[in-house]
Amino acid sequence: MKFNQYKITCPECKKENIILDRSRGELICQNCGMVISQKEIDMSPEWRIYSYEDSQKKNRVGPPTDYAIFDKNLGSIIDSNNKDIYGNRIINTNLNQIHRLRKWNVRAKINSSYNYNLSIAMITLDKITSQLGLPKLVKIASSLLYRKILKKKLVKGRSIVQIIIATIYLICRLYLIPIKLKELADHTNVEIRYIRNYYNLIIKKFDLKPNTLPITLFVSRYCSDLYLSNNVELTSLKILDIIEKRGLLIGKNPSSVIGAVIYTAAIINQERKTQKQISKVVGITESTIRELCRIINSNIIL
- Name residues of the chain where pLDDT drops below 70: 1-8, 22-25, 36-80, 84-85, 93, 104-110, 301-302
Residue 113: what residue type? S
Query: 117 and 92, same structural domain?
Result: no
- Measured distance CA(179)–CA(172) in Å, rounded: 7
- Measured distance CA(29)–CA(15) in Å, rounded: 8
Query: 184 and 228, same structural domain?
Result: no
User: What is the residue range of 241's domain?
Assistant: 215-299
Final residue in a domain of this structure, among 206, 225, 249? 206
Tell me, what's the pLDDT at 255?
92
Tell me, what's the pLDDT at 1?
37
Indicate whether 66 belongs to any domain: no
Indicate whether 46 belongs to any domain: no
Tell me, what's the pLDDT at 4?
41
pTM above 0.85, yes or no: no
Residue 257: C-alpha distances to residues 83, 168, 179, 281 (Å): 59, 25, 16, 13
Half-sphere exposure at residue 138, Cβ-oriented, CA atoms within 13 angstroms? 27
Query: 228 and 167, same structural domain?
Result: no
Indicate whether 185 belongs to any domain: yes
Residue 240: what residue type? L
Tell me, what's the pLDDT at 134?
93
Final residue in a domain of this structure, among 206, 228, 245? 206
251: left (phi > 0), else alpha (psi -120 to 50), else beta?
left
Tell me, what's the pLDDT at 101?
72
Tell me, what's the pLDDT at 236?
94
Per the structure, the count of domains in the chain is 4
Tell me, what's the pLDDT at 2?
39
Tell me, what's the pLDDT at 8?
65
Helix (H, G, I), strand (E, B) or coil at 21: strand
- Measured distance CA(51)–CA(153) in Å, rounded: 32
Query: 202 and 117, same structural domain?
Result: yes
